[in-house]
Amino acid sequence: MHRLTACLIASSAPLVLPGAKNEFEMEHAEKEALIRTYIRAYNHFDLPGMLAGLHPDIIFENRSGAELTMRLEGLAAFEKQAAEALSYFSNREQQIAALRHIGSSTEIDIIYRAVAAADLSSSLKKGDRLEMDGRSVFTFSEGKIASITDIS
């Protein structure tokens, strides 16, 4: 990166409180650790663990192809939806197949496996196994996950 570009990026970055890190200052290892901790908590139905690394102004989006199927803004909205979703599956696992840092975001390819705990739709009944590939894109602010976009 050229120095001029770095200066322009730094000068256009939001003001961050002393000691807090913005998305440009976080090391890849820090981002990966936040993501892996979030995924581990998700897999273990650990709601407090999922929330621990999220920014208070978290934005969560779920996309099916190009269609936006859900958008949540703020930690309270995320927590409410995540708590409700705990009852959807008796078992669930996101396995990271690949991880890439692209600019200020980090993208993961996932293999998703789950067993429905209830009848969720006309095609997904209690006990049915679900397996699909997907992708999640994470952005960061102040040392936390600022947004998650799940794409299937």
Summarize pLDDT for 75-107 with one digit per residue, the tens.
999 999 999 999 999 999 999 999 999 998 999
Residues 70, 50: Cα–Cα separation, whole Å: 18
Domain extents for the chain? 21-151
pLDDT band at 12 (very low <50, low <70, confident <90, very high): very low
**Beta strands 144-151; 54-64: pairing state:** parallel
What is 21-151's CATH number, 3.40.50.2020, 3.30.1490.480, 3.10.450.50, 3.40.50.1980?
A: 3.10.450.50
| Rounded mean pLDDT, 54-81 | 97
pLDDT of 25 reads 62
- Secondary structure, 3-state, 66-133: CEEEEEEECHHHHHHHHHHHCCCEEEEEEEEEEEEEECCEEEEEEEEEEEECCCCCCCCCCCCEEEEE
Average pLDDT, the chain: 88
Least-confidence region, from 25-29, 37-41, 63-67, 97-101:
25-29
Tokens in use for 62? 């779920």
pLDDT exceeds 70 at position 49 = yes
Helices (runs of H) and strands (runs of E) counted in the chain: 4, 6
Least-confidence region, from 21-30, 35-44, 55-64, 135-144:
21-30
pLDDT band at 26 (very low <50, low <70, confident <90, very high): confident
